[in-house]
Chain A
Amino acid sequence: DVQLVQSGPEVKKPGESLKISCKGSGYSFGRYWIGWVRQKPGKGLEWMGIIYPGDSDGRYSPSFQGQVTIAADKSISTAYLQWSSLKASDTAMYYCARRSYGSGDPCFEIWGQGTMVTVSS
């Protein structure tokens, strides 16, 4: 089965750093873009950015550029989302999702289960 499995929930303090992960299985990880999506409590979906694990080419939403870093290690089929200094406003559920193959008809076909990040002093 094709699946994305994300790391577990995190509780952090403001100013701390964090890296969460998303491990793919059941497919050739390096050949599909992986995106990250934020969902604040009770709110909608916000696209953060996307990375191609094959060569680590990445794109960011202007709203998240400079706020987070997206990375990938294709040797272990894992993508990452990281913060250098968390804020309380980063409290949210974070989803990784696999983009459809190729340049046409772009959408997110497969989703991870989500990682809840809570930032509180």
Chain B
Amino acid sequence: EFVLTQSPGTLSLSPGERAALSCRASQNVSSDSLAWYQQRPDQAPRLLIHGASSRASGIPDRFSGSGSGTDFTLTISRLEPEDFAVYYCQHHGNSLFTFGQGTKLEFK
């Protein structure tokens, strides 16, 4: 069974700091198939990154994605108050979509 594992489960940081969120796949995947989403409380998810490193339309450049193979990272260079939310990675393969379990980014 294909699994995406995100770490840490919770990340406690302050505005202005840098955040690095990890997503590890249980097997090698194509970078084309890896995306990241942000979900703020009581809102629908929002696409941030697709193809592992391409920012979606309207996403600030403080968000960046990187990685290949089994290890992928979402980096937020300087946290703004509105960035404190839950982040999910997602993979598509063999006609199936899989989400990671999420990383909660909270105020320290």
Contacts and interface: CB of A to CB of B under 8 A. Distances in A.
29 contacts: A37-B45, A37-B99, A44-B86, A44-B99, A45-B90, A45-B102, A46-B99, A47-B97, A47-B99, A50-B97, A59-B96, A61-B97, A95-B44, A104-B32, A104-B51, A105-B32, A105-B54, A106-B32, A106-B33, A106-B92, A106-B97, A107-B35, A107-B50, A107-B90, A109-B56, A111-B45, A111-B46, A112-B44, A114-B44
Contacts of A47: 90, 96-99
Nearest to A109: B47
Contacts of B86: 44
B88 interface: yes
Q: B interface, how many residues as a size bin?
A: 20 to 34
Interface residues of A, number: 23
Contacts, number: 63
Contacts of B28: none
Nearest to A107: B35
A106 to B, nearest CB: 4
A108 B47 contact: yes
A49 B35 CA distance: 17
Interface of A: 35, 37, 44-47, 50, 59, 61-62, 95, 97, 100, 104-109, 111-114
